[in-house]
Structure 1
Amino acid sequence: MRRRHVLATLVAAGAAVALVIGPQMPSAVADSTQLFVYRVPATSEAAAQRLLDHGFDVLENRSGTDLFVLGDEATAARLRGAGFRPAVSEKLQPTTWKAPSTRLVPDAAAPVVAPVDETYYGGYHTVRAQHAHLDQVAANRPDLATVVDYGDSYLKTRNPATGYDLKAICLTRKLSGDCSLTPSAPKPRFLLMTQIHAREIVTGDIAWRFIDHLVNGYGSNAQVTALLDSTEVWVVPIVNPDGVDLVQQGGNRPYLQRKNLNGAAGCANPPTSSNQVGVDLNRNTANHWGTSGVSSSRCAQTYPGTSADSEPETKAINNLFRRLYADQRGPNDSDAAPATTRGAMISLHSYAGMNLFPWGWSTRDSANDAALRRIAAQMSQYNGYQYGQPGEILYNASGTSDDWSYGELGIASFTTELASCGSFTPAYSCTTTDWNKNLPALMYVAGKAKAPYQP
Structure 2
Amino acid sequence: MRPHAPHSPTRRRYGRWAGAATAALLTLALAAPASSHSAKDPTTHAYEVTGPRTAAQRTVIARTGVAIDAVRDRSVVITADAAQAERVRQLGYSVRELPGPPDRSGGRTATPFDFPPEDAKYHNYAEATAEIDADVAAHPNLMSKQVIGKSYEGRDIVAVKVTNNATRTTPTGAAKPEVLFTHHQHAREHLTVEMALYLLKEFGTQYGKDARVTKMLDSRVVWIVPDLNPDGGEYDIATGSYRSWRKNRQPNAGSNSRGTDLNRNWDYKWGCCGGSSGSPGSETYRGRAAESAPEVKVVADFVRSRVVGGKQQIKAAIDFHTYSELVLWPFGWTYDDTAPGMTQDDRDAFATVGKSMAASNGYKPEQSSDLYITDGSIDDWLWGTQKVFAYTFEMYPDESGAGGGFYPPDEVIDRETARNREAVLQLLENADCMYRSIGKAAQYCS
Partners of 2:245 and 2:301 in 1: CA distance: 25
State the secondary structure of the residue aligned to 1:344.
strand
Q: Which residue of 2 aligns with 1:302?
A: 284
State the secondary structure of the residue aligned to 1:134.
helix
Evaluate the alpha carbon distance shift between residue 34 and residue 398 of structure 1 in structure 2; reply closer, same or farther with a 3 A threshold: closer
Q: Which residue of 2 aligns with 1:94?
A: 103
Deviations 1:197-218 (A, max 9, x none): 1110101001101100000111
Q: Establish whether residue 259 from structure 1 lines up as the match of residue 247 from structure 2.
A: yes
Paired residues of 1:177 and 1:186 also in contact (CA < 8 A): no
Evaluate the alpha carbon distance shift between residue 376 and residue 277 of structure 1 in structure 2; reply closer, same or farther with a 3 A threshold: same
Give the C-alpha shift of residue 190 in structure 1: 1.0
Partners of 1:205 and 1:229 in 2: CA distance: 25
Paired residues of 2:63 and 2:274 also in contact (CA < 8 A): no
Counterparts in 2 of 1:56-455, with a 5 A limit?
56-59=66-69, 61-71=70-80, 77=86, 79-81=88-90, 83-87=92-96, 92-96=101-105, 100-101=111-112, 121-155=119-153, 163-174=154-165, 177-178=168-169, 186-252=175-241, 254-265=242-253, 276-290=257-271, 291-325=273-307, 343-364=315-336, 365=338, 366-367=342-343, 368-392=346-370, 394-420=371-397, 421-455=403-437
Q: Which runs of 5+ in 1 are unaligned?
A: 1-30, 103-110, 112-116, 156-162, 269-275, 330-340
Give the C-alpha shift of residue 33 in structure 1: 8.5
Give the C-alpha shift of residue 441 in structure 1: 0.7
What amino acid sits opposite 1:449 in the alignment?
Answer: A
Q: Give the TM-score of the pair, scaled to structure 2.
A: 0.78
Give the C-alpha shift of residue 369 in structure 1: 0.2
Partners of 1:120 and 1:256 in 2: CA distance: 17
Evaluate the alpha carbon distance shift between residue 118 and residue 324 of structure 1 in structure 2; reply closer, same or farther with a 3 A threshold: farther
Deviations 1:110-129 (A, max 9, x none): x9xxxxx9999322111112
Evaluate the alpha carbon distance shift between residue 118 and residue 396 of structure 1 in structure 2; reply closer, same or farther with a 3 A threshold: same
Evaluate the alpha carbon distance shift between residue 44 and residue 381 of structure 1 in structure 2; reply closer, same or farther with a 3 A threshold: closer
Give the C-alpha shift of residue 44 in structure 1: 4.7
Q: Which residue of 2 aligns with 1:334?
A: none
Deviations 1:131-158 (A, max 9, x none): 2222222222211111011111112xxx
Partners of 1:282 and 1:369 in 2: CA distance: 22
Between the two proteins, the alignment pairs up a number of residues equal to: 383
Deviations 1:39-83 (A, max 9, x none): 332245454233233222321x21224221135788755642454
What amino acid sits opposite 1:264 in the alignment?
Answer: N
Deviations 1:314-370 (A, max 9, x none): 1110111112245659xxxxxxxxxxx861100000001110001111122222100
Partners of 1:443 and 1:319 in 2: CA distance: 26
Identity %: 28
What amino acid sits opposite 1:280 in the alignment?
Answer: D
Partners of 1:258 and 1:325 in 2: CA distance: 31
Evaluate the alpha carbon distance shift between residue 267 and residue 44 of structure 1 in structure 2; reply closer, same or farther with a 3 A threshold: farther
Partners of 1:76 and 1:266 in 2: CA distance: 24
Give the C-alpha shift of residue 435 in structure 1: 1.7
Evaluate the alpha carbon distance shift between residue 319 and residue 35 of structure 1 in structure 2; reply closer, same or farther with a 3 A threshold: same
Q: Give the TM-score of the pair, scaled to structure 1.
A: 0.77
Deviations 1:285-313 (A, max 9, x none): 11100123212221111100111111111
Give the C-alpha shift of residue 395 in structure 1: 1.0
CA RMSD of aligned residues (A): 2.9
State the secondary structure of the residue aligned to 1:343.
strand
Give the C-alpha shift of residue 94 in structure 1: 2.7
Give the C-alpha shift of residue 38 in structure 1: 1.3
Evaluate the alpha carbon distance shift between residue 73 and residue 310 of structure 1 in structure 2; reply closer, same or farther with a 3 A threshold: closer
Partners of 2:149 and 2:410 in 1: CA distance: 30
State the secondary structure of the residue aligned to 2:423.
helix
Evaluate the alpha carbon distance shift between residue 54 and residue 412 of structure 1 in structure 2; reply closer, same or farther with a 3 A threshold: same
State the secondary structure of the residue aligned to 1:292.
coil
Partners of 1:285 and 1:263 in 2: CA distance: 18
Paired residues of 2:321 and 2:393 also in contact (CA < 8 A): yes
Partners of 2:377 and 2:159 in 1: CA distance: 20
Evaluate the alpha carbon distance shift between residue 198 and residue 431 of structure 1 in structure 2; reply closer, same or farther with a 3 A threshold: same
Partners of 1:188 and 1:434 in 2: CA distance: 27
Partners of 2:110 and 2:43 in 1: CA distance: 17
